Amino acid sequence: MTPAINVRMTLFEWGLVVALSILWGGSFFFVGVAVEALPPLTIVTLRVGIAAVILWLVLAPGGAKGLLVARHWPAFFAMGLLNNVVPFTLIVWGQTEIASGLASILNAATPIATVVVAHWLTRDERMTPARLAGVGLGFAGVAVMIGPAAWDGFGAGALAQLAVIAATVSYAFAGVYGRRFRAMEVPPMATAAGQVTASTILLIPLALLVERPWELAMPGPAVWGAVLGVAAFSTAAAYVLYFRILATAGATNLLLVTLLVPVTGVLLGVLVLDERLAPSHGLGMVLIAAGLVVIDGRLTARFSPGSPGRRR
């Protein structure tokens, strides 16, 4: 039986979610650079393959215990398919047709899909009015923050947009499916290594058959830097945090990270690249923060009828 999750995250878990949002936020930038020179399947294969090598090197020699158990590998392959092969390929292909801003907005629908999927497939992540309201506020915040210009291409690349939305559904099923690794007693780092290794095995023949990457021109240093960045930071490091959060906080809480990805992207631009914070950014962040507060429930509970902390 899978251990119960923390419906209300601890401050430490919230910190991990913020850290994950920073790591995943960089993936849109890295992929945006890589797609200028490499086709989608090749990018995704390099991403998970390099991440697998990094994680195996970190785990060796004593940390790979969970990876050497044969019965774990069907679950690794299923997780790799749902969490890497399908969504990565759909999103990278989608970004060849639509702007990264629109892709970010569509990707922020992941918690909405997760609330629905988790409600039907789990007993301890049920849909509640507060969760739905909070996710709705957060999604509105992402749309406001990125701005109306990102919607200019909406409808033009319909298939690409549907691909990104389909990726969010795959992520939702992966989040629910991945809860089983805690019951299997596989540590988060070993789970991450097993997933990206299985994904690499699935993707290599597909990329070789469809894209024949050996016929491509050799990419420049910027492209290789982007590939290494998305593999090391947005995949290897990110999935260690992903499985750590998933083990205790559940799929719905974990995938709230997609609402924070645009926030961290904007804040990094302000802090590192000296970009300006527009009024729409501030309003969007307020809406996202309000949504997360509603989902978390601690603050709203203090002012709800019958609450001991409510002022009378």
Q: pLDDT digits over 289-302, tens only?
A: 777 777 666 555 55
Q: How far apart are CA 32 and CA 100, in angstroms?
A: 7
Q: How far apart are CA 285 and CA 307, in angstroms?
A: 28
Q: How far apart are CA 79 and CA 191, in angstroms?
A: 9
Nearest in space to 31 (alpha carbons), one of 91, 98, 110: 91
- More confidently predicted of 73 and 300: 73
The angle, 0 to 180 degrees and rounded to 10, between the axes of the packed helices 238-254 and 188-211 is 100
Q: pLDDT digits over 151-177, tens only?
A: 565 555 678 878 888 998 899 899 888
CB-based contact 82:173 (threshold 8 Å): yes
In terms of Cβ atoms closer than 10 Å to its own Cβ (0-12, 13-18, 19+), residue 189 is buried
- In this prediction, what percent of the chain has a pLDDT beyond 70? 78
Q: Residue 62: what are its φ and ψ, rounded to 5°? A: -95, -15
Q: Where in the chain are the domains?
A: 11-301
